């Protein structure tokens, strides 16, 4: 029976579509008859004057829709050839948009980062010998067909056989070679969970069992894997990954690392353990690799993904386990563009996926420690270093008492310890979280300090590059011969140390030692970084001087002495997490000393030996430190006991800015439980003008 005239045009279905543009909510469209889609389908639909990519957020029946609005709906243009976004990921987007106070469309844009993954192809043509041999079979033709017994690129075929273009074209023409269109993106090598298992210690095996059990529940299971540096956390979570992959043929695992560029060691360990490289996702991955990774992850074939923050937003088909390694690391927090904390979102993603999330650290963040303490997260403890390795002994050097010579920064006790270490043929590491040669350059005659023209910060002297550099904007100039203020020649003097200056001092003090500097200026690119780390591992460096790059995850068997040049750097400034950060960073650095059978020693130079973070380090009392911090934060209503929001107002006219800022301060609502502070000038008030 035909429908009454006029109803035939009525769409059967309405789709609410969320676009990848900063819009707060989905819009309704008509689903053309015969177009197949489901919730999560990736489509293109008209928005304004253009067709845009979006995702079907909801499907509704057309008959419940008000007639007059129905007629105005535009139709969806097409469904893209990519798998639909699954409900857990859509749920994460909805949740995160509210939590992060941003448009849903902004989050969707992060998910659909690889535009090319949503297209067909690209394809390439490959040649393969067909079942019909040519009537005339010359020796050369036979060689070509032999080489093409499996699919091969035309260029490779002529290169391997020396056959001319005419010979190959001739074989195609007579039907002896088939031309096939094959997708360029091929699946990644599959990791083998049984490739090279580690023999775990009883503690490690127990920890791996607990994580495996948590994964097997198929429900949200947050876990803190708490173990000192070198206790085998990586070994344990890799075992849990192996068992997860072995138990479920389509399970996927995400391993998050704070800085992928620094994580070559973990990448190599994964490759050695599973016989295949994990799929990488971070800002250095180029667009073709990104397209392939996105597709393979969405198809569920990429099984181990190793990534930075943004890997959280990938369209996993069946994500069973997320590992957040070094969960306390500050670089998990993204402070530009979309502000989010990847560790927190990892937990939320696991919740939507009903999956296990392992937060691994030797120095858990206060937030995580509190969650574990209150029983919201399961705590799994690895109590000791693997094997016979013991934790280093930590000593504080009071710089008010043990003064170095003028323009020197290595105190006598540290110098003596370095000499002993060198004499034993062992390695020292000096840590200073400051790049360059000297943080300030000033004129001895007039006191003028060299400053960036458009930014409110001192220029840092880089001796290797012979330039003065602004670390905030990258602005740089050659170091001038005369003071730009008073014109005195040769009056500019370098004040304070950076790693380059400590290297000069170390080389002067120990002329026989091999000294190297590891910082982002001296080692450029992952390959150079790996080379220096390998040189250190092989004992080709006696004294390594480094910024925080050296703090992470490396394993130097010959390193027995760690000297912290200036522990006070991190304690200054207004960040409520300054104490926590200092504690974490210094315990990571100190933890580098002593592995295997050689005990290590860590010496920390400070003007404030009474500081709680430093005292706790000496006592080896991490939990005592966390407890004290917790009490302090609670008393002050600081996170995680209170939430803070900052309103940043910027402008180029100081008088006008002042006026607006004051008005904003006065307009702030007076609500019980909300304290308004300020207005106040930020620590750095001029940036790029």
Which residues sit opposite 319 in a β-bridge? 252
User: In what helix (H) or strand (E) does residue 68 lie, and over which residues does it extend?
Assistant: helix 67-70
> Hey, what are 349's tokens?
């993603």
Q: Which stretch binds ligand ADP (CB under 6 A): 186-194, 224-232, 520-528, 615-623?
A: 224-232
Of residues 20, 104, 161, 204, which one binds ligand ADP by CB under 6 A?
204
Cα(226)–Cα(206) distance, integer angstroms: 13
**Quick one: which H or E segment has residue 614?**
helix 612-619
Nearer to ligand ADP, 53 or 204 (CB): 204
Query: Under a CB-based contact definition with an 8 Å cutoff, are residues 35 and 79 in contact?
Result: yes
Contact set for ligand ADP, span 38-67 (CB under 6 A):
none
Q: Is 201 in the site for ligand ADP (CB under 6 A)?
A: yes
Among 53, 104, 161, 234, binds ligand ADP (CB under 6 A): 234
Joined tokens for residue 109: 């844009």
**How far apart are CB 49 and ligand ADP at their closest, in Å?**
54
Of 125-133, 198-206, 241-249, 478-486, which segment contacts ligand ADP by CB under 6 A?
A: 198-206
Among 90, 141, 154, 233, binds ligand ADP (CB under 6 A): 233
Nearer Cβ to ligand ADP, position 58 or 388? 388
- Backbone region of residue 27 per phi and psi (left: phi > 0; alpha: psi in -120 to 50; beta: other values): beta
The CB-of-227 to ligand ADP minimum distance in angstroms stands at 5
> What does the alpha-carbon distance between residue 250 and residue 244 come to, in Å, rounded to a whole number?
10
Give the list of residues 6+ apart from residue 111 with CB closer than 8 angstroms, or none: 85, 89, 93, 313, 314, 315
- Residue 235 binds to ligand ADP (criterion: CB under 6 A): yes
- Asked whether the beta carbons of 307 and 282 are under 8 A apart, the reply is yes
Q: Which stretch binds ligand ADP (CB under 6 A): 70-78, 83-91, 226-234, 330-338?
A: 226-234
Regarding 227 and contact with ligand ADP (CB under 6 A), the answer is: yes
Query: In 220-355, which ranges are E strands?
Result: 221-227, 252-256, 279-281, 304-307, 319-325, 333-334, 340-341
CA distance 591 to 545: 16
231 binds ligand ADP (CB under 6 A): yes
Q: Does 223 bind ligand ADP (CB under 6 A)?
A: no
Nearer to ligand ADP, 238 or 469 (CB): 238
Q: Which two tokens stand for residue 440?
A: 């300030």
Rounded least distance, CB 265 to ligand ADP, Å: 8
Among 29, 313, 340, 386, binds ligand ADP (CB under 6 A): 386
Instruction: Please tell me whether residue 222 binds ligand ADP under the rule CB under 6 A.
Output: no
Nearest distance in Å: CB 253, ligand ADP: 17
Strand ranges in 515-632 using DSSP code E only, listed in sequence order: 515-518, 543-546, 559-564, 601-606
Q: What are phi and psi of 504, to 5 degrees?
A: -60, -45
Write down the least CB distance from residue 238 to ligand ADP, Å. Answer: 8
Considering the rule CB under 6 A, would residue 200 count as an interface residue with ligand ADP?
yes
Smallest distance, ligand ADP to C-beta of residue 589, A = 13
Which CB, 237 or 409, lies closer to ligand ADP?
A: 237
Q: How far is the CB of 244 from ligand ADP (least distance, A)?
A: 18
Is 190 one of the binding residues for ligand ADP (CB under 6 A)? no
The helix (run of H) or strand (run of E) holding residue 240 is helix 233-247
Q: Shortest distance, CB of residue 586 to ligand ADP, whole angstroms?
A: 16
Least CB distance to ligand ADP at residue 496 (A): 33
458 secondary structure, DSSP code:
B
In order, the DSSP letters of 478-547 are EPPSB-TTT--BT-EEEES--HHHHHHHHHHH-TTS-EEEESTTTS-SHHHHHHHHHHHHTT--SEEEES
* Min separation Cβ 555 and ligand ADP, Å: 5
Is 500 one of the binding residues for ligand ADP (CB under 6 A)? no
Q: Which of 198, 394, 418, 571 binds ligand ADP (CB under 6 A)?
A: 198
CB-based contact 479:461 (threshold 8 Å): yes
Figure out which of the listed residues 170, 230, 364, 570 binds ligand ADP, where binding follows CB under 6 A.
230
The helix (run of H) or strand (run of E) holding residue 128 is: strand 123-129
Residue 665 main-chain phi, psi, to 5 deg: -60, -40
What is the rounded distance in angstroms from the CA atom of residue 404 to the CA atom of residue 103? Answer: 55
Which stretch, 231-239, 449-457, 487-495, 651-659, contacts ligand ADP (CB under 6 A)? 231-239
Q: For residue 277, with 0-12 CB atoms within 10 Å meaning exposed, 13-18 middle and 19 or more buried, which class applies?
A: middle
Establish if 229 lies at the interface with ligand ADP (CB under 6 A): yes
Q: Is 606 in the site for ligand ADP (CB under 6 A)?
A: no
Q: Which residues, 6+ apart, have CB-to-CB distance to 588 below 8 Å?
A: 229, 362, 363, 551, 552
- Of residues 239 and 566, the one with the C-beta less far from ligand ADP: 239
d(CA 347, CA 338): 18
- In order, the DSSP letters of 198-237 are ----HHHHHHHHHHHHHHHTTS-EEEEEEE-TTS-HHHHH
Residue selected from 34, 48, 66, 199 as contacting ligand ADP according to rule CB under 6 A:
199
- Least separation in angstroms between CB 388 and ligand ADP: 11
Strand, coil or helix: 46? strand
Query: Under rule CB under 6 A, which residues in 526-555 are in contact with ligand ADP?
Result: 555
Please tell me whether residue 267 binds ligand ADP under the rule CB under 6 A.
no
Binding segment (CB under 6 A) for ligand ADP, from list 230-238, 394-402, 445-453, 670-678: 230-238
Per CB under 6 A, the list member of 26, 170, 232, 497 interacting with ligand ADP is 232
Residue 263 in contact with ligand ADP, rule: CB under 6 A: no
Question: Residue 235 Cβ, how far from ligand ADP at the closest point, in Å?
Answer: 4
Count the residues of the shown chain that bind ligand ADP, applying the rule CB under 6 A: 15
Does 34 help bind ligand ADP (rule: CB under 6 A)? no
| Positions in the binding site for ligand ADP (CB under 6 A) | 198-201, 204, 227, 229-235, 386, 555
């Amino acid at each position: 029976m035909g429908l009454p005239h006029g109803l035939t045009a009525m769409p059967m279905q309405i789709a609410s579509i969320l676009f990848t543009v900063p819009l707060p909510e989905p819009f309704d469209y008509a689903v053309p008859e015969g177009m197949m889609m489901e919730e999560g389908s990736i489509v293109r639909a008209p928005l304004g004057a253009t067709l845009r990519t979006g995702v079907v957020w909801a499907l509704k029946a057309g008959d419940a829709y008000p007639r007059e609005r129905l007629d105005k709906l535009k139709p969806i243009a097409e469904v893209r050839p990519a798998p639909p976004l699954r409900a857990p990921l859509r749920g994460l987007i909805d949740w995160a948009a509210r939590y992060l106070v941003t448009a849903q469309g902004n989050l969707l844009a992060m998910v659909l980062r690889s535009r090319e993954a949503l297209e067909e192809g690209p394809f390439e043509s490959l040649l393969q010998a067909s079942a019909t041999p040519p009537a005339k079979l010359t020796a050369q033709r036979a060689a070509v067909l032999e080489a093409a017994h499996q699919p091969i690129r035309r260029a490779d075929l002529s290169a391997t056989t020396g056959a001319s273009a005419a010979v190959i074209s001739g074989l195609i023409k007579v039907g002896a070679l088939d031309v096939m269109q094959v997708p360029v993106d091929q699946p990644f090598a599959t990791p083998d969970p049984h490739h090279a298992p580690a023999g775990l210690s009883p503690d490690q095996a127990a920890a791996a069992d607990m994580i495996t059990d948590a994964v097997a529940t198929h429900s949200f299971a947050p876990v803190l894997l708490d173990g000192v540096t070198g206790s085998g956390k990586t070994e344990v979570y890799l075992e849990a990954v192996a068992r997860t992959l072995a138990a479920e043929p389509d399970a996927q695992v995400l391993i998050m690392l704070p800085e992928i560029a620094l994580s070559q060691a973990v990448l190599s360990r994964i490759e050695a353990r599973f016989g295949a490289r994990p799929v990488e996702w971070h800002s250095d991955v180029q667009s073709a690799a990104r397209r392939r990774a996105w597709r393979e992850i969405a198809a569920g074939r990429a099984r181990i993904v190793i990534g930075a923050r943004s890997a959280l937003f990938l369209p996993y088909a069946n994500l069973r386990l997320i590992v957040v390694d070094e969960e306390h690391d500050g670089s998990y927090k993204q402070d530009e563009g979309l502000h989010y904390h990847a560790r927190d979102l990892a937990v939320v993603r696991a919740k939507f996926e009903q999956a296990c999330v392992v937060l691994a650290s030797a120095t858990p963040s206060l937030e995580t420690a509190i969650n574990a303490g209150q029983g919201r997260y399961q705590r799994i403890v690895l109590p000791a270093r693997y094997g016979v390795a013991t934790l280093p002994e930590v000593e504080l050097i009071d710089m008010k008492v043990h003064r170095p010579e003028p323009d020197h920064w290595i105190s006598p006790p540290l110098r003596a310890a370095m000499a002993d270490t060198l004499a034993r043929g062992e390695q020292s590491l000096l840590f200073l979280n400051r790049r360059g040669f000297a943080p300030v350059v000033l004129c001895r005659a007039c006191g003028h300090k060299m400053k960036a023209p458009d930014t409110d910060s001192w220029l840092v002297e880089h001796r290797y590059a012979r330039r003065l550099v602004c670390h905030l904007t990258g602005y740089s100039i050659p170091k001038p011969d005369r003071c730009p203020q008073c014109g005195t020649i040769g009056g500019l003097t370098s004040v304070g140390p950076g790693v380059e200056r400590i290297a000069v001092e170390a080389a002067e003090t120990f002329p026989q030692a091999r000294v190297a500097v590891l910082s982002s200026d001296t080692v450029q690119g992952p390959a150079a970084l790996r080379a220096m780390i390998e040189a250190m591992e092989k004992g080709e460096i006696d004294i390594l001087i480094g910024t925080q790059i050296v703090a992470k995850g490396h394993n130097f068997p010959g390193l027995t002495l760690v000297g912290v040049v200036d522990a006070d750097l991190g304690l200054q400034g207004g960040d409520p997490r300054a104490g926590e950060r200092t504690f974490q960073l210094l315990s990571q650095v100190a933890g580098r000393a002593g592995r295997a059978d050689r005990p290590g020693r860590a010496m920390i130079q400070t003007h404030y030996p009474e500081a709680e973070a430093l005292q706790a380090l000496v006592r080896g009392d991490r939990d005592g430190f966390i407890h004290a911090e917790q009490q302090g934060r609670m008393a002050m209503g600081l996170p995680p006991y209170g939430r803070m929001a900052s309103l940043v107002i910027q402008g180029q006219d100081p008088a006008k800015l002042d006026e607006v800022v004051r008005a904003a301060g006065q307009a702030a609502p007076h609500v019980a439980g909300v304290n308004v502070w300020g207005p106040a000038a930020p620590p750095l008030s001029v940036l790029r003008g």
